[in-house]
Structure 1
Amino acid sequence: MGAKATGATGYADILKAPHAARLLAGTLFGRLPNATAHIAIVLFTRAEGGSYTLAGGLAAAYGIATAIGQPLLGRAIDLHGQPKVQLPAAVVSALGMVLLAAVGIGSLPLAYLAVAVAGLFTPPLEGGLRALWPSVLGRQDRVHRAYAMDAVAQEIMFTLGPLLVTVIVSIWSAAAALLVINVIGVLGALSVVLSEPSRTWRSAPRDAHWLGALRSSGLLALLGSFFFVGLALGSITVAGVAYADDHGRDSVYGILMAALGLGALIGGTFYGARQWAGAPERRLMVLIALLALGYLPLVLTPGVVLMTVLSAVAGVFLAPAIACAFIVVDRHAPRGTVTEAFSWLVTTFGVGAAAGTAVAGPAAEWGGTDWSFAVAGVGGIAALVVLVATQRVLAAPERTNDIVGFGGSLSGQGEPATENDRNGAAEPGFSSGLEA
């Protein structure tokens, strides 16, 4: 993977664009509930005396509901605009978490209903932001660099988010953590929908096809790989709690999750500050291989200090893989479906994360903490196998005139966004947590 350094000036150029900083910050704060929901749900369930299996089950229910809701909310945004959907969805999602905090796990049907409502109505802020980038930034090279900046900025949230949750749990309660993060989420969504780009955005016409973006075989291959990436990260959410319990300190969990996010932040910053030569599909395969390699040592479950280092190393290639996947999505999505394709990417990732939490819980109870971390290693390897098996499909993108080197066009010069970028990226999308 050849690269040319561009430094921090590329990010600064993006943030100087009108509305860019506000949209990025509002989206990050608005996504805090989604970014920390699995952690908050697991800690809340354990604080209420629930088992690892129940904690994993509730977190999985939230993830599955989110995966179902995002494409539906994205279609609603396509029809009615962002403000009419994003803010009401954020409020209803927050009320779901309020219900969970109120009823606890004494009534399991109500607890599952609460997390399902919270997940189903999670606002698609991430996909919405990518729909706005072309109109806010204009040039194709800036839009693609914004993908990397977006991934890096998310890692800041995924570094600080777990710490925020564990601090609130320590000084107040797990129920309070559920409430606080959702209040912040509603305020973030409010900031986004009140901005001019969000208020004036309208979806471009899309080709009539019942499969939409899913008619692209290259996109389907990518989705298959990122299901297993999500599974790996989802399993770490539960495995980290089991590890913290083994060491008798709740704070260990927040440290491990923050280390994972810090590693991704470092990797994403390095990746996004450079222009990369060669096809992004091939580059993604290398990044996923390195990501899988980073997950394998976690099964050793050494002492806290070394485990923190291993967690940071495991996260290094996450943000680069996500940023590269955004470019691959952009190249393989049929015309007029680019952000819908982003929606499916994160939806699939969310389903994988839900599956990971569901599998890691029983693995921790039946085989021990090392078995739950082994789920992450298996997920990383499976993600790589999918890419290797479908490399011929991925080598034939829908559009070959888009940029193939990160941050520039085929000629290496910044160009205006293509018609597909302007129209397709104006489609509604979905958000994850790509970082479970």
Structure 2
Amino acid sequence: MLRHRYCSRLLIASVTGRLSLGMVPVALILAAKADGHSLATASLLAALYGISPAMGLPLLGRFADRRGLPLPVYLGAGLVATALGVLAVAGTANLPLTAVCVLLAGAGCPPLEGGLRSLWPTVLPDDAHVRTAYTLDSSTQEIVYVTGPALAIALAGWLSPAAALTLAAAATLAGSLAFATAHPARTWRAAPRHPDRLGALRPPAMRPLLAALVFLGATVGALDVAGIAVAEKQNAAWLAGALPAIFSAAGILGGAIFVRFQPSTAPRPRHLAMLAAAYAACWLPLLAPLPAPLLLVAAMLPGALFVPLLTVASLTLTSLAPPGTSTEAVGWLSSAMRLGLAAGTALAGPLGGHFAVPLMAAALCTLLLGTRTGPRPLPAAA
């Protein structure tokens, strides 16, 4: 797939431009603690950044569907770079100013993910290649959320948290510029659309799908807290980082296997519900009191199904999106996942970080996806 013209550039630019999503939360916590704030305050700032893209991505996505990709990408990247630059220079001592900058840095995230998925059908020859591209794109999200925090921690330790924020701003600008100046991005235009305030949310089946994606995101947010809780319980601090890392690594592997053995036809709605049910079942072994090595093995089970499930959900979402709303629809997908991540993290703490939390979230995800069934095959992209 990557041998096709522009594909490698678009994918690498999109990942680079989204790297700040993995870097900024960690850099914010480190910067706030360095400025004398408590861990609770630092975590609230990171949570504000995590939630704010849910407001901006659908709006910038709708803007892209109406006016093309370059302008909203440039506007978003400029807003992110300016806000992170102010944080890097001024620090986090002034909490009101910091909160405004954090909010703008999150809400301004350029619509690179939605733009990329809108462009795949224009640069690839057939639906099979598009489905492969969706899987690869879903897998690269795991890279963003593994590489981003590692880069932020390394740079903050070597230089300062401000340097990590500066690198995040530079990555957003560089990736956005490389993406928006590519010929497919400059020439792409969405299909004609009917004037509609609801836009991508108009189809009734879109709403339970997005609600299901909130619960899917909650499984990952709850896993981070569960990793910390089980690390304390087993007196093995390394588990707190190893558990989400092995989950992500298994996701990349699962995505590669899914591409290798994916069916020749587009997935049907029942495939999505079946994948979700299998994903929920894979959380059951984690309820047992397992030693650390077996716990890591058990975490690979849901991890391996996460990327295939997210891929089929993305294909389903783009098939439901009305003509001319593909970028906005992916913005809603990203918003749903990020809201779920924040909610899973927030709920798992008071509930003791038990693995029952991601299990229940996965079960609710399955229940919502089961409401959309039917024999009609789903096209690869809208």
Structure 1 residue 28 displacement after superposition: 0.8
Note the alpha carbon deviations across 1:144-192, whole angstroms, 9 max, x for none.
2211121123333334333333333444444433332332222111111
Equivalence for 2:41: 54
Alignment partner of 1:177 is 2:164: yes
Partners of 2:20 and 2:172 within 8 A in 1:
yes
Equivalence for 2:211: 224
Amino acid aligned to 2:145: F
1:214–1:80 distance in 2 versus 1, CA, 3 Å? closer
Partners of 2:139 and 2:255 within 8 A in 1:
yes
Alignment partner of 1:376 is 2:352: no
Structure 1 residue 135 displacement after superposition: 1.3
Partners of 2:190 and 2:326 within 8 A in 1:
no
Partners of 1:44 and 1:174 within 8 A in 2:
yes
1:215–1:267 distance in 2 versus 1, CA, 3 Å? same
SS for the counterpart of 2:262 is strand
Matches within 5 A, 1:267-282: 267-276=254-263, 279-282=267-270
Structure 1 residue 43 displacement after superposition: 5.0
Note the alpha carbon deviations across 1:37-91, whole angstroms, 9 max, x for none.
4444445555656555434432332232101101111122233322222133113
Amino acid aligned to 1:385: L
Alignment partners' CA distance in 2, 1:333 and 1:183 = 33
Matches within 5 A, 1:22-421: 22-45=9-32, 50=37, 53-240=40-227, 253-276=240-263, 279-296=267-284, 305-361=293-349, 363=350, 368=352, 370-371=353-354, 373-388=355-370, 390=371, 394-396=372-374, 400=376, 402-403=378-379, 421=381
Alignment partners' CA distance in 1, 2:249 and 2:329 = 28
Alignment partners' CA distance in 1, 2:142 and 2:236 = 24
Alignment partners' CA distance in 2, 1:309 and 1:168 = 31
Amino acid aligned to 2:269: E
1:49–1:254 distance in 2 versus 1, CA, 3 Å? farther
User: Could you tell me the percent identity over the aligned residues?
Assistant: 36
Partners of 1:42 and 1:238 within 8 A in 2:
no
Partners of 1:62 and 1:354 within 8 A in 2:
no
Alignment partners' CA distance in 2, 1:289 and 1:66 = 29
Partners of 2:270 and 2:374 within 8 A in 1:
no
Structure 1 residue 99 displacement after superposition: 3.5
* TM-score for both structures, normalised by structure 1: 0.77
Where do 5+ consecutive residues of structure 2 fail to align?
Answer: none
Alignment partners' CA distance in 2, 1:204 and 1:395 = 27
Note the alpha carbon deviations across 1:336-384, whole angstroms, 9 max, x for none.
33333222222212222222233345x2xxx64x34x543333222212
SS for the counterpart of 1:208 is coil
Alignment partners' CA distance in 2, 1:118 and 1:29 = 16
Alignment partners' CA distance in 1, 2:343 and 2:225 = 11
Amino acid aligned to 1:316: A
Amino acid aligned to 2:309: A
SS for the counterpart of 1:320 is helix
Note the alpha carbon deviations across 1:303-342, whole angstroms, 9 max, x for none.
6544444443332111101111122113322333333322
Cα RMSD, aligned residues only? 3.1
Note the alpha carbon deviations across 1:166-220, whole angstroms, 9 max, x for none.
3334444444333323322221111111211111222321122222221212211
1:57–1:78 distance in 2 versus 1, CA, 3 Å? same
Amino acid aligned to 1:110: L
1:72–1:45 distance in 2 versus 1, CA, 3 Å? same
1:381–1:197 distance in 2 versus 1, CA, 3 Å? same
Alignment partners' CA distance in 1, 2:53 and 2:36 = 25
Note the alpha carbon deviations across 1:88-142, whole angstroms, 9 max, x for none.
3113213323334455554332332222111110011000011111111142222
SS for the counterpart of 1:316 is helix
Note the alpha carbon deviations across 1:222-278, whole angstroms, 9 max, x for none.
111111111222233455456667789987554333222101001111112223368
SS for the counterpart of 1:336 is coil
SS for the counterpart of 1:217 is coil
1:143–1:88 distance in 2 versus 1, CA, 3 Å? same
1:131–1:69 distance in 2 versus 1, CA, 3 Å? same
Partners of 1:130 and 1:339 within 8 A in 2:
yes
Partners of 2:23 and 2:164 within 8 A in 1:
no
Where do 5+ consecutive residues of structure 1 fail to align?
Answer: 1-13, 408-420, 425-436
SS for the counterpart of 1:15 is coil
Partners of 1:56 and 1:357 within 8 A in 2:
no
Alignment partners' CA distance in 1, 2:27 and 2:229 = 15
Amino acid aligned to 1:330: T
